[in-house]
Structure 1
Amino acid sequence: MIPEAFVQGTLAREGESATRWLTELPTIVEGLLSRWDCTRDGEVTHGRVGVIVPVQHARGPAVLKVSFPHPGNVHEPDAFVAWNGCGAVRLYERDDEQFAILLERAQPSTLGELGDGDEIAVAAGQLSRRLAIPAPGGLPRLADQADRWAEELRQGVVDFPGAVPKASVDTALAVVGELGRDQPDLLVHGDFHQRNILPSAREPWLAVDPKGCTGDPAYDGATFLKPRALALSSSADLTKALHHELDLYAGAAELDRERVRGWAHLQAVQAAFHGRRHGFGRARGGPELDRILALVDQLVVSWC
């Protein structure tokens, strides 16, 4: 029942701590299906951290999502509760102990599958504007990570001398000081990219897979733009293409363009160091990692 790719990916990422959970996962799923009166309605799929079981429920087509127990997955249901179906899928049930939620089912395609880059940027920006509501209490604050971000940037310079231009690191540190430590009390998705925006019969686009944070919505804009570089990598002028999408996104989201650009620069520098230290989800080494790192290094320059 559990896809082998998910099993192997979870073991590779989490190590032996995942073995017991993966062994128990089929029983966990069956127990939740019974308790929430769901019947299976399709093949089990998965994301990076959880399995997705399509089901039928009294409230209509739904999905059961069970995630690996990890602090980063704690506040997903809190974000769904706050949005209450406005711009995001509806939450039907939750079991925080099992890291499980029952959600309204969206369609299986994603915003990234649209062919028109302008439409992608505008749709994402419009959705971001709707999601930026007052944050409920108890969510982690992005501002609380500012000191750690600054320390990691300085350590990156030590560990990978010359990998990122000094001026770019200094600019990233300035972003931490200017934007990172003083942020609004708004709900931030935290993992807002094109694959986490799905079409729906109820609304054109709905958000899924939030981390649930309190902070600056412009941070989500940077998170959206970072993977867009892969889609735009064949452009004759990558910097021009990225800044065009930035303009479209910021306008649709009603955000200050320079705040989004500042966050995008910080995230690009962070990715340049992270990729050299850990690789990326799609490439841990070899020529593909080299290709992605070269693209990330272009991003660092593009957002200056």
Structure 2
Amino acid sequence: MGGRRPHRCARATSVSEALKKIAEGREAELFLLPDGRVLRLVRPGMPRAEERIRLEAAALAAAVEAGAPAPRVYETVVRDGRPGLIMERLEEPDLLTLLGRRPWLVLNIARRTAELHAELHRVDAPAALPRLKEWIRAHLEESDVVPEDLHREALSLLDELPDGDRLCHGDFHPGNIMVGGERPAVVDWTSATRGDPAGDVARTWVLLEASPVPPGAPALLRRLVGIGRGVLLHGYARAYLRRSMIDADRLSRWTQLRAIERLAQDVPGERERLLTLLGR
């Protein structure tokens, strides 16, 4: 990936420029630029969009400089009032799509996901990134959908769990790992923070356990993810724990906290599975 390249300040682009959309997720859309790079724009109405793009650029720069698997950022931009990043284009597929095509590779995909996650967690996070525990606390404070007893439990866990100083992705799962190029690369860094790696692993556990597949995914992939979710989840956890010093009790407490945090985010289609994960 090479060393860090400076990204320029935000500029406005012409609304008349026609761009081809090549991918999308819950938080952003990806467009192909004429020069072969890509433009990643946050979706309209995303809270704190400009701040999130600024922090995403900082996280990516730190990852690239450390040699971790992440794409280069060339500059920040604004288009139609939407903040975004101009980035290196990565080749498809992502690991989730690969799982849909070759479901018998589920354990291999789980292992590769764990290896890349452990590699990211060796990176010192930039001081500019928000602290993971402060990020979680903000989500809890902004929500009114968490039962009172779970809210109290989450605040207690925030007081008990360690802070940490590692680069935490915040949305790490096979759908955000591109594997079509010479080297895998991790995308979608809008939730990057500075904290305890166990908290980031717990976030991945919650996502793999509770999240539906992204919009636009083929029906076959949806069925396969439903069948193989548990195999993927436990294969990932075993592979990661073999490469780290995280103990099971610490990970369990972080998972409880991050499940409550995810409940606070009130993502459509997740509440029932999250409540089951929380023992409700």
Aligned residues of 1:64 and 1:101 also touching (Cα < 8 A): yes
Q: 2:134 aligns with which of 144, 159, 164?
A: 144
Q: What 5-or-longer segments of structure 1 have no aligned partner?
A: 1-24, 34-39, 159-165, 284-288
* Pairwise CA distance, 1:206: 0.9
In the alignment, the residues of structure 1 paired with residue 37 and residue 24 of structure 2 have an alpha-carbon distance, to the nearest angstrom, of 15
Residues 87 and 206 in structure 1, CA contact (< 8 A), matched pair in contact too: yes
The AA in structure 1 aligned to 2:133 is A
Unaligned runs of 5+ in 2: 1-11, 211-223
Q: Tell me the equivalent position of 1:199.
A: 179
Q: 1:209 aligns with which of 159, 163, 188?
A: 188
How far residue 153 of structure 1 moved from its aligned partner, in angstroms, is 8.8
Q: Distance in 2 between matches of 1:178 and 1:112?
A: 34
Q: 1:62 is matched with which residue?
A: 37
CA contact (8 A) 1:190 1:210 kept: yes
* The one of 222, 227, 232 aligned to 2:207: 227
Instruction: Give runs of aligned pairs for residues 122-137 of structure 1, distance below 5 A.
Output: 122-132=111-121, 133-137=123-127
Q: Amino acid of the residue matched to residue 190 of structure 1?
A: G
Q: Structure 2 CA distance, aligned partners of 1:63 and 1:135?
A: 25
Correspondence 1:248 to 2:239: yes
Q: Which residue of 1 aligns with 2:14?
A: 27
Q: What CA distance in whole angstroms lies between the structure 2 residues aligned with 1:241 and 1:169?
A: 29
Normalised by the length of structure 1, the TM-score is: 0.64
| Cα 1:241–1:210 shift into 2, 3 Å | closer
**Counterparts in 2 of 1:254 and 1:95: CA distance versus 1, 3 Å:** farther
**1: CA distance between counterparts of 2:185 and 2:196?**
20
Matched, 1:107 2:87: no
Give TM-score scaled by structure 2 length.
Answer: 0.69
Among 94, 107, 110, the residue aligned to 1:121: 110
1: CA distance, partners of 2:135 / 2:60: 23
- The question of 1:50 aligning with 2:40 is answered no
Shift of 1:254: 5.4
Distance in 2 of aligned mates of 1:170 and 1:245: 30
Q: Secondary structure at the match of 2:147?
A: helix
Q: How far has the Cα of 1:87 moved from its partner?
A: 0.7
| Structure 1 position 27, deviation (Å) | 2.3
Q: How far 1:194 moved relative to its partner? A: 2.1
Query: Structure 2 CA distance, aligned partners of 1:260 and 1:70?
Result: 32
Contact persistence 1:221–1:250 (CA under 8 A): no
Q: CA deviation at 1:208?
A: 0.5
Q: What residue is the counterpart of 1:261 in the other structure?
A: 252
- Deviation at residue 151 of structure 1 after TM alignment: 5.6
Q: CA deviation at 1:75?
A: 0.9
State the one-letter code of the partner of 1:112. L
Please tell me the residue identity of whatever aligns with 1:129: A
Matched, 1:94 2:76: yes
Matches within 5 A, 1:75-86: 75-84=55-64, 86=68
Question: SS at 1:74's partner residue?
Answer: helix
Give the letter aligned to residue 117 of structure 1. V
How many positions carry a matched residue from both structures?
240
SS at match of 1:66: strand
Q: Distance in 2 between the 1:120 and 1:220 partners?
A: 18
Once residues 262 and 33 of structure 2 are traced to their aligned partners in structure 1, the CA distance between those partners, rounded to angstroms, is 37
Change in CA separation of 1:178 and 1:120 when aligned onto 2, cut-off 3 Å: farther
Report the RMSD for the aligned CA atoms in angstroms.
3.6
CA shift at 1:273, angstroms? 4.8
How much has 1:261 moved relative to structure 2?
2.6
Letter in 2 for 1:210: W
> What is the letter of the counterpart of residue 63 of structure 1?
V
